[in-house]
Chains A and B, each alone.
Chain A
């Protein structure tokens, strides 16, 4: 199964996928922005400030999902000793850090008009800050440790320890009294968000996911070329 992510197998497809995403990205972006900024209604309580949700919520989801994927791939890489998985985790980490930071910044911009403060040391916000620290440590482990094997071991360990923080973020609004509101969207279908707001949210999520895929593919391709370049002399 892991042979499917073998660089020699997917290198050709990376190029094709990058071209495909580039071709549809801007059309989808314009549609999503039209819904988010013009067609979706203002909230009865928060007014137009609710539109920040369309960048804040997908950013937070991507930040959380990216770290979960990194941690799971790190565990798989540790068990099955597949070096290729480390190239993928290394490529995902900057994307996850970007979106975690964006979730914190846009959350702060949303907090000021709704709560009257830019920042509060509440459980959800603090645990998101902790997540960004784990991302920074993961990236620094790859940048600062020269021996690749050691860098991989340390970064995998950071990812596994950081995984503990994911359920803390997810359930922080249920476990503690927080300024942050509880989840409006639930996988079990009991969402409390109206479809006129859910649709733009899903469209923005799709656009940002496509962007993530684009960056991931470019970074993964860069990593493959870097390794092949290093190996030329050996061949």
Chain B
């Protein structure tokens, strides 16, 4: 039964290769996207932390995204 499932009545190579290529490509894209996002998050947090207290307060006051980002980033680390 398992051998039948793997061989797919002679079409196993084509079927398994199709699924493997699809999920491998999706996995690689996910990994690259995740890594890039984390890199940008880290760089942005670093840049915010390098600002003086007054500058940071001004940035966080003016940019809602920056304040939301910093809140979620601090929670995640």
Contacts and interface: CB of A to CB of B under 8 A. Distances in A.
A177 interface: no
Nearest to B64: A8
Given A218-B33, A228-B44, A232-B51, A113 B25 contact: no
Contact of A211 (B17, B26, B43, B72): B26
B68 A11 contact: yes
Contact of A232 (B10, B19, B29, B47): B47
Q: Is the interface of B mostly helix, strand, loop or mixed?
A: helix
Contacts of A8: 63-65, 68
Interface stretch (A102-110, A141-149, A163-171): A102-110
B9 A222 contact: no
Contacts of A105: 18, 21
A38 interface: yes
A224 B65 contact: yes
A44 to B, nearest CB: 13
A229 interface: yes
Interface in A199-235: 208, 211, 214-215, 218-219, 221-222, 224-226, 228-229, 231-232, 235
B50 to A, nearest CB: 10
A113 B14 contact: yes
A173 interface: no
Q: Is the interface of A mostly helix, strand, loop or mixed?
A: helix
Contact of B8 (A48, A95, A222, A228): A48
Interface residues of A, number: 44
Q: Which of B26, B36, B43, B47 has the most CB of A within 10 A?
A: B26
B33 A219 contact: yes
Contacts of B77: none
A47 B8 CA distance: 8
Given A48-B11, A215-B30, A109 B17 contact: yes
A109 B14 contact: yes
Given A11-B64, A11-B65, A98-B26, A49 B11 contact: yes
Nearest to A224: B65
B29 A94 contact: yes
Nearest to A220: B37
B19 to A, nearest CB: 6
Nearest to A91: B33
